[in-house]
């Protein structure tokens, strides 16, 4: 069955790779991304990145829907200033984007956020879950908050949970317990929502730093009342980022099963990785990978080291 573009809405997630402003925040480790830092991060590079990221968001799902995404989860944004600057870029300024954001305790100062178009989504409650880990020296290792936003998409209450789980920097096996804990934290939040509304419609999105087949996602997060449309993509060799020339699909959007119901107000139609050729590196050893802003300390002027992902929903 085919639908017109006017009948479809899209929901997206995008890790925008270190979207820092140029101002040194004395409370975070953002020194690299300042004009005098080792990345030589200046206004020209900052505004070039804003322009690129805003253009990407404006193009996500354009072949599916006549509207830009009604919701966009973001990872690696520094603060409200970069969000203000982002939604006021030429490609987004007429879309009516607002945002939900909390400052987290992440040492680098990067947070999650949710952009929403106020024509289509009306937030009712916003919250965050803070959780930390103890390192080998007994010190707190802070990570990004889990962002919780509940609101009405058109006339239907939807709960959105935006994640950016601990990285694999210290090794996949060594860091695995942290992501399992993150999954359990999200599951607790889901159970709390469901205790008040057993039929709640829930979207869990984020950069999980794990694949759809990883223990944290497959066994701890995607329970029987959820489905992960990214699983089949990953099993078919697709991904949103590369590491040592291997594709990973860390960026995922997971939905409660009631998005598949026949009489739901927003019926799930499909999921995609937004991996247009112009978002990829065109030559060299990183050919085909996401066109990054930096590779190590070297500025490349690209978009991000991740591709965005999105789902299409049929309005009833």
What region, left, alpha or beta, does residue 12 occupy, with left being phi > 0 and alpha being psi -120 to 50 degrees?
A: beta
Mean pLDDT, residues 162-177: 92
Q: How many CB atoms lie within 10 A of CB 129?
A: 15
Asked whether residue 169 carries a pLDDT value surpassing 90, the answer given is: no
Q: How many CB atoms lie within 10 A of CB 22?
A: 18
How many Å apart are CA 266 and CA 258, to the nearest integer? 9
The single-letter DSSP state of residue 231 is: H
pLDDT, averaged across the chain: 94
Ordered DSSP codes for 267-310? EEEEEEE---GGGB--SSTTTTSB--SEETTEE---S-SS--EE
Give me the pLDDT at residue 112, please.
97
Measured CA distances, 158 to 7, 155, 172, 186 (Å): 18, 9, 33, 16
Asked whether residue 203 carries a pLDDT value surpassing 70, the answer given is: yes
Measured CA distances, 60 to 18, 109, 175, 192 (Å): 20, 27, 32, 32
Q: Which residues pair with 253 in a beta bridge?
A: 205
How would residue 27 be classed by pLDDT, with cut points 50, 70 and 90? confident
Give me the pLDDT at residue 149, please.
98
And the tokens for 58?
Answer: 């404006």
Q: Which residues pair with 121 in a beta bridge?
A: 153
Nearest to 108 by CA among 79, 87, 68: 79
Ordered DSSP codes for 133-187? EE-TTS-EEE-PPEEEEEEEETTEEEEEEEEE---STT-HHHHHHHHHHHHHHHH
| DSSP H or E run through 128 | strand 121-129
Domain ranges of the chain: 5-315
- Domain range 5-315, its CATH number among 3.40.50.2300, 3.40.50.800, 3.40.228.10, 3.60.10.10: 3.60.10.10
How many Å apart are CA 144 and CA 197, to the nearest integer? 27
pLDDT tens-digit readout, 88-137: 999 999 999 999 999 988 888 899 999 999 999 999 999 999 887 766 66
How many Å apart are CA 25 and CA 78, to the nearest integer? 10
Q: Which pTM was predicted?
A: 0.96
Give me the pLDDT at residue 222, please.
96
How many Å apart are CA 52 and CA 24, to the nearest integer? 23
How many Å apart are CA 276 and CA 271, to the nearest integer? 15
And the tokens for 53?
Answer: 């990221």
């Amino acid at each position: 069955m085919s639908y017109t573009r006017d009948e479809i809405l899209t929901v997206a997630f995008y890790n925008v790779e270190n979207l820092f402003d140029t101002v040194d925040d004395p409370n975070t480790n953002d020194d690299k991304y300042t004009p005098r830092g080792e990345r030589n991060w200046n206004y020209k590079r900052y505004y070039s990145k804003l322009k690129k990221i805003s253009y990407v968001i404006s193009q996500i799902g354009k072949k599916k829907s006549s509207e830009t995404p009604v919701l966009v989860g973001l990872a690696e944004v520094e603060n409200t200033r970069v969000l203000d600057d982002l939604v006021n870029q030429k490609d987004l300024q007429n879309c009516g984007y607002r945002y939900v954001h909390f400052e987290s305790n992440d040492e680098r100062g990067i947070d999650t956020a949710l952009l929403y178009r106020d024509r289509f989504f009306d937030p009712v409650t916003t919250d965050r879950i803070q959780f930390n880990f103890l390192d080998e020296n007994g010190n707190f290792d802070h990570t990004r908050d889990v962002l919780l936003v509940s609101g009405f998409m058109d006339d239907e209450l939807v709960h959105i949970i935006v994640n950016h789980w601990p990285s694999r920097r210290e090794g996949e096996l060594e860091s695995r317990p942290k992501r399992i804990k993150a999954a359990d934290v999200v599951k607790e939040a889901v159970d709390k929502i469901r205790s008040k509304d057993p039929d709640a419609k829930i979207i869990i999105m984020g950069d999980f730093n794990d694949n759809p087949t990883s223990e944290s996602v497959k066994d701890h997060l995607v329970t029987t009342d959820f489905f992960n449309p990214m699983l089949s993509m990953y099993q078919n060799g697709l991904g949103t980022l590369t590491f040592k020339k291997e594709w990973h699909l860390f960026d995922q959007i997971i939905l409660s099963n009631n998005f598949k119901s026949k009489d739901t107000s927003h019926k799930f139609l499909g999921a995609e990785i937004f991996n247009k050729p112009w978002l990829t590196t065109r030559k060299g050893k990183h050919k085909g990978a996401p066109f990054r802003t930096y590779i190590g300390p070297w500025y490349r002027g690209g978009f991000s080291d991740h591709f965005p992902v999105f789902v299409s929903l049929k309005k009833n």
